[in-house]
Structure 1
Amino acid sequence: MNKSFQFKQFTVNQDQCAMKIGTDGVLLGAWASINNPFSVLDIGAGTGVIALMIAQRCNAKQIDAVEIQEDAYEQCVENFENSPWADRLFCYHASINEFTEEMKEEKYDLILSNPPYFVPNIKEIHISESRKKARFKDSLPFEDLIKFSSQLLSKEGQLAIIIPFSEEKKVLKIAENFNFFPNHITRVRGTKESSIKRSLLQFSLSETILKENELVLEIRRHNYTEDYKKLVENFYLKL
């Protein structure tokens, strides 16, 4: 699990990160709509994989990331420096509220986040603080994510996130409270027969026609659908 993860155009080291490369981050990095952004922000960057994917997909001059957990921050910096786009990538070691206060004059054309969303149970009280921050939603509540994103987003900008499907209605309501309008929702199933597990949500600050669709990842175990392969084919070495 701690070995580096090799993508087609970059490598992600993850030995210092509490949360390793997973399907959610890769889905978001591949799915988010790109509209020639000048500046991009990845909130809660972890390994930096989402920012790296965006750097591969577009020519944004400024791709920033913010990460509160020190080991993950150091790993993110390492991954950025080792990538082909080191001159465009920068990671800040801060909480999102500290970052927003410091960067209040800054506006981003695209903000992305794969926020933590697990609720700890009694068995998980004794796990490391770094893993708690990476896993549990108290470390980056959805309301904080959306509130601070609304302050950092440019007028024509987009906010793209991935969350559990069970949280979709709640997050849409929070977003509405901060004058965000959903413009694209993709609901993700493992297989055609399985229940919806994730929601990919993209928002803007002006109302547009909402596009809704579903994405099925697998026909059966390790036999991936054409839709999923098409989405991630520029990143994974093999599927």
Structure 2
Amino acid sequence: MFHFKQFSVDQSGCAMKINTDGVLLGALATADNPQSISDIGTGTGVIALMLAQRFANAQIDAVEIDESAAETAERNFKNSQFADRLRVYPSGFKEFFEGHPGSKYDLIVSNPPFYINSLLSPGAKKNQAKHAGEGFFKELIQSVSVHLTANGGCWLVLPPDTADMVKALAAQNGLHLQKAVKIRSFEKDEPHREIVVLGFQEIAAEITTLTIYKEVNVYSEEYRQVLKPYFLAF
């Protein structure tokens, strides 16, 4: 059980536990008073819960293909103060959108499986949570282009090489890079993750960097400030 300031997350039944990628995406993803949010691959539900805490007017649809993880997310939602605004759908995103063809979202977020054509891990569930073929991202971006509102934003956290591929796919589907947050462990390190923000409006992309650690085992002040609304330790 992982306790946050306004909710708790039971991680049992989830191949992918709460991690830095997810909480940074949940803390940074934003929109102008979003009324509708979709969290694709919600896992434990932590990102959806973080967004529910911040956006009091938003209804959030969380999609999770793994049945066990979906059950865990649903339990976490029901045990939170935001239960009336959160709903989990136990299906893949493609099936979900096919079943909800008219759905539109002001904010779409995803901490997707991103290891492409790499060595698979022994556990089937962890494979599903961590690995994706290139076709996965093609379908994901196509779905985003159909279900994102005109002024909405899609926030994804990805390794840099996968982020480059996704930006190219976005351009093919009428979406533009609006923002990128390059995440690195230490100040002298190369970024190991990138949060990309896609939308229909063509604007000059804002590129920033976030450093997690000031030194070994000591979080940077910017990391602490980003997660201060959520983490008890901050």
What TM-score, normalized by structure 1, do the two folds share?
0.93
AA in 1 matched with 2:172:
N
Superposed displacement of residue 23, structure 1: 0.2
Aligned to 1:150: 145
1:213 to 200, 208, 211: 208
Cα distance in 2 for partners of 1:157, 1:34 equals: 7
Unaligned 5+ segments in structure 1 are none
AA in 1 matched with 2:31:
I
Cα distance in 2 for partners of 1:9, 1:55 equals: 10
Aligned to 2:183: 188
SS at match of 1:183: strand
Asked if structure 1 preserves the Cα contact closer than 8 Å seen for 2:114 and 2:162, the reply is: no
Asked if structure 2 preserves the Cα contact closer than 8 Å seen for 1:115 and 1:140, the reply is: no
Cα distance in 2 for partners of 1:189, 1:140 equals: 28
Kindly tell me: are residues 120 and 75 of structure 1, through their superposed partners in 2, closer, same or farther at Cα, counting changes over 3 Å? farther
Kindly tell me: are residues 144 and 6 of structure 1, through their superposed partners in 2, closer, same or farther at Cα, counting changes over 3 Å? same
Which has the higher mean CA deviation after the structures are superposed, 29-38 or 134-143? 134-143
Kindly tell me: are residues 201 and 173 of structure 1, through their superposed partners in 2, closer, same or farther at Cα, counting changes over 3 Å? same
Aligned to 1:11: 8
- Answering whether residue 218 of structure 2 is matched by residue 235 of structure 1, we say no
Superposed displacement of residue 167, structure 1: 1.8
Matches within 5 A, 1:103-142: 103-119=100-116, 124=121, 127-138=122-133, 141-142=136-137
SS at match of 2:192: strand
Superposed displacement of residue 130, structure 1: 1.6
SS at match of 2:106: strand
Superposed displacement of residue 157, structure 1: 1.1
2:48 to 45, 48, 51: 51
Q: Deviations over 1:185-213 (max 9, x none)?
A: 11011001112100011111111221111
- Answering whether residue 25 of structure 2 is matched by residue 28 of structure 1, we say yes
AA in 1 matched with 2:232:
L
Superposed displacement of residue 123, structure 1: 6.7
Cα distance in 1 for partners of 2:135, 2:96 equals: 13
Asked if structure 1 preserves the Cα contact closer than 8 Å seen for 2:184 and 2:193, the reply is: yes
Identity %: 37
Q: Deviations over 1:153-191 (max 9, x none)?
A: 111111011000122221110111111111111101100
Cα distance in 1 for partners of 2:87, 2:134 equals: 22
- Answering whether residue 36 of structure 2 is matched by residue 39 of structure 1, we say yes
Moved over 3 A (4+): 119-123
Asked if structure 2 preserves the Cα contact closer than 8 Å seen for 1:48 and 1:76, the reply is: yes
What TM-score, normalized by structure 2, do the two folds share?
0.95
Cα distance in 2 for partners of 1:135, 1:22 equals: 12
Kindly tell me: are residues 121 and 145 of structure 1, through their superposed partners in 2, closer, same or farther at Cα, counting changes over 3 Å? closer
Superposed displacement of residue 32, structure 1: 1.0
SS at match of 1:201: strand
Cα distance in 2 for partners of 1:182, 1:33 equals: 15
1:87 to 79, 84, 87: 84
Aligned to 2:74: 77
Superposed displacement of residue 120, structure 1: 6.5
